[in-house]
Amino acid sequence: MKTRALALSALLATSAFAGAAFAQENPMVGGAPMSPEMNIVENAVNSADHTTLVAAVEAAGLVETLQGEGPFTVFAPTNDAFAALPEGTVDTLLLPENLEMLQQVLTCHVVGANVTSTDLVGMIEADGGTHTIETLGGCMLEATLDGDSVVITDENGTAATVTIADVIQSNGVIHVTDAVFTPAM
């Protein structure tokens, strides 16, 4: 187990350097360029597709955390992903009395490592087609491949496709997703 952890650490460290080398090729997200010199929050606020996520991160008091050193991998749901939740869900989560629930939902989208799509595909293949990801929020996500697409499924069976991968940040990487993860109920 220790050997696997060391190998994973080496792989992640190597990918961090590789990501920096290709930073000038960062994709546009939400109509805005994503700078590899900016952190996760600084870039997210520029994306027109992530205004709901940014508002939720602010309401949850997680801005400082996600501006921290990291590394972090964030599976970032779009505004459309939040809009697809049952009516009233986002408004309910944003109520002050639901702060802990909002924090858990959001941290179920964050991994405490720098995981590029190449890393993730390698882990999926090495694990026989399904790789389990533990998030900072304690959620267990399952990563699989559907053709060339990475699909992440939460504990409730919600499947999100990574629509834009490898948006390199100064403190990690963002993968844009088309669904919101929620903790097991």
Enumerate domains of the chain plus CATH numbers.
2-177 (2.30.180.10)
Q: What is the pLDDT of residue 23?
A: 41
- pLDDT category of residue 5 using cuts at 50, 70 and 90: very low
Q: How far is CA 182 from CA 117, 157, 185, in A?
A: 22, 9, 8
Please give the mean pLDDT across all residues of the chain.
87
pLDDT in tens, 134-185: 999 999 999 999 999 999 999 999 999 999 999 999 999 999 999 999 998 7
Radius of gyration from C-alpha coordinates of the chain: 16
β-pairing verdict for 110-111 and 72-77 = antiparallel
On whether the CB atoms of residues 81 and 179 are closer than 8 A, the answer is yes
Q: How far apart are CA 34 and CA 77, in angstroms?
A: 16
Spell out where 1-139 has E strands: 72-77, 110-111, 131-134
Mean per-residue pLDDT for 97-104? 95
Least confident of 18-27, 104-113, 116-125: 18-27
Instruction: Look at 30 and 103; give whichever has higher pLDDT.
Output: 103
Q: What is the sign of the dihedral through the CA atoms of 6, 8, 13 and 14? A: positive
Q: What percent of the chain has pLDDT over 90?
A: 81
